[in-house]
């Protein structure tokens, strides 16, 4: 009988299982501890989790069109759909979506609460110093949501700086850090945990505008309606983009993922995934991790 034709990843997985079965203790058990609450290995690294049959945990914010996590656990959105497609090309289909706030994403990654952040988490110098980003999967613009008629005439960052307007941003977000770096006073920035909370703050009159990615605002308007306008993209904001983020200790897996992603970005399927969520593929194909990681923040 001929030997089965196993892929490299399958061989790795079978090898890990075989090691676990030899002797009174396994190689994996020797270098891992188990979380008593979850029963899962801690500090194992993404490859070891995969080889031991555990799902890849992907952190998202449930903020369409970047990410979407359904009540049934279905994970979608521009970033996760790209990440899932790349993982599938690598032979990995077992995944689990984990919802969290943006300011918890990188700390949670380091604490092994998830394995990949795929959430439209924009690159900047600070974040890039803490994690390994893959090639950009989305490039975005920023806009203000303002009450219908834009009573305070807020169409630029300077309009905010030269007024008493208060702008809602998400805690720990790229918008918060960049707004500060562009000179908007901290007292004019009010933080909220999620986009719907920020939009409700404007509806209730607690803030005069909401600063979020243009497509996030449009998606909110399409889904929920609302008595507000969306300004043209803000020219003062630098080119921004996001990609999947990994722990630095998972550098080998990151390199394999990134190589597969770069090939995938040249396909029609990549363009179709982004188009479904309102993004154009070409800006993401042209942008580089190095360029986006130079963004202040």
**What confidence tens digit (pLDDT) does each residue in 47-89 have?**
999 999 999 999 999 988 899 999 999 999 999 999 999 999 9
What are the tokens at 122? Answer: 């924009």
CA distance 75 to 284: 21
Q: Taking a C-beta distance cutoff of 8 angstroms, is the pair 16, 28 a contact?
A: yes
Determine the average pLDDT of the residues in 270-281: 94
For residue 193, cis peptide bond before it (omega within 30 degrees of 0): no
Q: Closest by alpha carbon to 141, among 230, 261, 272?
A: 230
What H or E segment, with its residue span, contains residue 196?
helix 195-203
pLDDT higher than threshold 70 for residue 247: yes
- The reported pLDDT for the residue numbered 116 is 98
Those residues whose C-beta lies under 8 Å from the C-beta of residue 151, and which sit 6 or more positions away, are none
Q: Between vectors from CA 279 to CA 277 and to CA 285, what angle results, nearest 5°?
A: 130
- The reported pLDDT for the residue numbered 43 is 53
**What confidence tens digit (pLDDT) does each residue in 9-44 have?**
333 332 333 323 333 333 333 344 444 433 334 456
């Amino acid at each position: 009988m001929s030997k089965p034709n196993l892929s490299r990843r399958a061989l790795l997985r079978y090898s890990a299982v075989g090691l676990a079965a030899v002797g009174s203790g396994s190689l994996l058990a020797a270098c891992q501890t188990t979380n008593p609450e979850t029963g899962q290995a801690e500090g194992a690294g993404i490859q070891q989790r995969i080889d031991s049959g555990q799902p890849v945990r992907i952190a998202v914010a449930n903020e369409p069109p970047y990410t979407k996590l359904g009540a049934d656990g279905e994970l979608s959105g521009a970033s996760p759909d790209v990440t899932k497609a790349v993982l599938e090309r690598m032979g990995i289909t077992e995944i689990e979506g984990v919802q969290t706030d943006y300011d918890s994403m990188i700390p949670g990654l380091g604490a092994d609460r998830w394995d990949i952040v795929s959430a439209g988490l924009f690159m900047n110098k600070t974040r890039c110093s803490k994690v390994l980003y893959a090639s950009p999967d989305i490039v975005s613009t920023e806009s203000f949501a303002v009450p219908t008629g834009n009573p305070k005439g807020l169409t630029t960052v300077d309009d905010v700086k030269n007024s008493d307007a208060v702008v809602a941003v998400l805690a720990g977000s790229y918008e918060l850090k960049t707004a500060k770096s562009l000179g908007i006073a901290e007292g004019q920035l009010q933080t909220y945990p999620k986009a719907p909370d920020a939009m409700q703050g404007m509806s209730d009159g607690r803030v005069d505008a909401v600063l979020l990615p243009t497509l996030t605002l449009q998606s909110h308007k399409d889904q929920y309606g609302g008595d507000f306008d969306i300004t043209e993209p803000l020219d003062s904001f630098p080119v921004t983009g996001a990609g999947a983020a990994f722990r630095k200790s998972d550098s080998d897996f990151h390199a394999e993922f990134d190589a597969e992603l770069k090939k995938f970005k040249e396909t029609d399927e990549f363009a179709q995934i982004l188009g479904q969520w309102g993004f154009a593929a070409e800006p993401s194909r042209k942008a580089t991790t190095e360029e986006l990681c130079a963004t202040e923040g």
